[in-house]
């Protein structure tokens, strides 16, 4: 059963999901090499920030063909562009 749980947890983590295991009590977790090396199987893709995504969507709606992300970042930090 624990092997199935580990497999499911691994799959969820590789899909970018958070995994919470509640109700297990006090468990001392020591991963075996398969889970320990999970990072080797992971592929990390850079993702735009929510601010950048929103700016691009707004630009598309307005028919704009470019977005000044540096100005958006400065505006988000309370600085004027």
> Tens digits of per-residue pLDDT, 8-35?
888 888 888 888 877 776 666 677 777 7
Query: Which pairs from 46-54 meet CB under 8 Å and 24+ separation?
Result: 51/76
Q: Are residues 76 and 54 in the same domain?
A: yes
Rounded Cα distance between 77 and 56, Å, is 18
Is residue 53 located within the same domain as residue 36?
A: no
Same domain, 80 and 53: yes
Same domain, 53 and 77: yes
In the predicted model, is pLDDT for residue 62 greater than 90?
yes
Number of compact structural domains in the chain: 2
Pick 19 or 56 by higher pLDDT. 56
State the pTM of this model: 0.41
Average pLDDT of the chain is 80
Domain of 78?
Answer: 47-81
Note whether 31 and 12 are same-domain residues. Answer: yes
Q: Are residues 78 and 58 in the same domain?
A: yes
Residues 56, 76 within the same domain = yes
């Amino acid at each position: 059963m624990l092997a199935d749980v580990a497999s499911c947890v691994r799959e969820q983590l590789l899909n970018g999901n958070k995994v919470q295991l509640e109700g297990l009590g006090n468990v001392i977790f020591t991963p075996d090499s398969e889970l320990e090396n999970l990072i080797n199987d992971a592929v990390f893709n850079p993702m735009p920030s929510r601010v950048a995504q929103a700016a691009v969507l707004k630009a598309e709606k307005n028919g704009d063909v470019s977005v000044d992300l540096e100005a958006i970042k400065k505006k988000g930090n309370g600085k004027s562009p």
